[in-house]
């Protein structure tokens, strides 16, 4: 199975700040990487697919990048509604696996 390692596990940032979350795959996943946002008490929602394609309706302050085994999610100008847990997921090979999540809080 492909292991997905996210860092950091938790993050505290101020409004307006830029934050970056990292995701490391145990092998090359050829940009088959998605990011999801899970707000408290809610189901996950797709943010980004193919490592850097923004899903419809997602604010442009979110962006994704990376290739090979290393990927990142960047949030510019942090807003209060961005408080969530963020997960990466590889869809290169079954079983499709997720990172452990990054909990983003406001400082």
**Residue ranges binding another protein (CB under 8 A):** 32, 34, 36, 42-46, 49, 55, 87, 89, 91-101
Task: Please identify, using beta-carbon distances, which residue of 15 and 39 lies nearer to another protein.
Answer: 39
Please provide the size of the chain in residues. Answer: 107
Minimum distance, C-beta of residue 88 to another protein, in the bound complex (Å):
10
Question: What is the nearest approach in angstroms of another protein to the Cβ of residue 18?
Answer: 25
Closest separation between CB of residue 53 and another protein, Å? 10
Q: Which helix (H) or strand (E) holds 76?
A: none
> For 65, how many CA atoms within 13 A lie in the half-sphere containing its CB?
5
Task: Considering the complex, state which of residue 9 and residue 15 has its C-beta at the smaller distance from another protein.
Answer: 9
Our CB check for another protein shows the closer of 75 and 86 to be: 86
Bridge partner residues of 4 (DSSP): 25
Rounded CA-CA distance 46/44 in Å is 7
Please tell me what DSSP assigns to residue 81.
G
Q: Which of 31, 58, 32 is nearest to 45 (CA)?
A: 58
CB of 97 to another protein, least distance (A): 7
The nearer residue to another protein, 36 or 62, going by C-beta atoms, is 36
């Amino acid at each position: 199975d492909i292991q997905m390692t996210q860092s950091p596990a938790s993050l505290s940032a101020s409004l307006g700040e830029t934050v970056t979350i990292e995701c490391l795959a145990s092998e090359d996943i050829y940009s088959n990487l998605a990011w999801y946002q899970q707000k408290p008490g809610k189901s996950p929602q797709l943010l980004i697919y193919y490592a850097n394609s923004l899903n419809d309706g997602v604010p442009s302050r979110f962006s994704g990048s990376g290739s090979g085994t290393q990927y990142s999610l960047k949030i510019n100008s942090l807003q209060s509604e961005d408080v969530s847990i963020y997960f990466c997921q590889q869809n290169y090979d079954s079983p499709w696996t997720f990172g452990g999540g990054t909990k983003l809080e406001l400082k």
